[in-house]
Amino acid sequence: MAEAIIKGLTGAGSYEIRVTNRSNQAKLAQMKEDYGIIPASFMEAVKDSEIILLAVKPKDVGEVLAQAREGMKSNQLLISVAAGIPLVLLEKHLPHCPIIRAMPNTSSAVLHSMTGLVKGQSVTEENQRDVEAIFGAVGKYIWITEEQMNPLIAMSGSGPAYFYLFTEALVKAGVDMGFSQEAAENLAKETLMGAAKMLAQSGKSPGELRVAVTSPKGTTQEALNVFLEKGLEELVAQAAKACKHRAQAMEREYLG
């Protein structure tokens, strides 16, 4: 996730980005070459940055914040993209700092993320504008309540993977019907990209677009009938709920 955001930001604006990576120096060197970031030690990154973006594994958040607390100033904004770590836990470690939870997705890398934002108790209007500038540069954003964060993860945080899985299935169907792997991938990708652009630009709802391409008793209707008979809508709902429940379970694990 961190690299996707960095890639998006370097392509969208003039940010001076310091990055620390204690576990993979080779990766840090590669990111310097690819994106022009400034490699830094942990405390250098903490002390020399106006805004800190915390993008570590949830299990490491407590340890990282305990170390960061030594160098952070009370007006320094922390943005956490760690799933399953609620504000109450973040603010326990940094009680005097403004903190915002953010849940982007990997489409940040191509400037098409949909990011959910939740503000903590000490967040100012200036902090909000700073965060909006960052995530507005890599896509769109929406301010939500913390209660909505796990449902948002189930929709947009994990959402890209759902579409990739569907694309894989469509490609396999194409190969099974006689296309080469390359041809099937091109057909599936361009079709889905076109459909996404129609959703974004037509001003019509998904249902309206579906009806427009579906002739009664036609080929598309036959395919859609199979999806409906197999319970696609219920399957999607179950998958989204499973994602939400896992996010809730992670919160319980880290809260103890």
Binding-site residues from annotation for NADP(+)? 55-58
Whether the CB-CB separation of 115 and 135 falls below 8 Å is answered with: yes
Strands 99-103 and 113-119: antiparallel
DSSP annotation string for 185-203? HHHHHHHHHHHHHHHHHS-
State the binding site. Answer: 55-58
Question: Which of these, 27, 37, 89, lies nearest to 58 by C-alpha position?
Answer: 89
- Residue carrying structure tokens 């809508």: 233
Instruction: Output the CA torsion sign for 224, 230, 234, 239.
Output: negative
Question: Which of these, 80, 22, 13, 71, lies nearest to 52 by C-alpha position?
Answer: 80
Distance between CA atoms of residues 47 and 68, nearest Å: 9
Q: How far apart are the first and last CA of the chain?
A: 26
Distance between CA atoms of residues 156 and 93, nearest Å: 28
Instruction: Look up residue 33 and give its amino acid.
Output: E
Question: Which of these, 254, 13, 85, 27, lies nearest to 2 by C-alpha position?
Answer: 27
The two three-digit tokens of residue 35, written as one number: 């994106």
Phi, psi of 168 (to 5 degrees): -60, -45
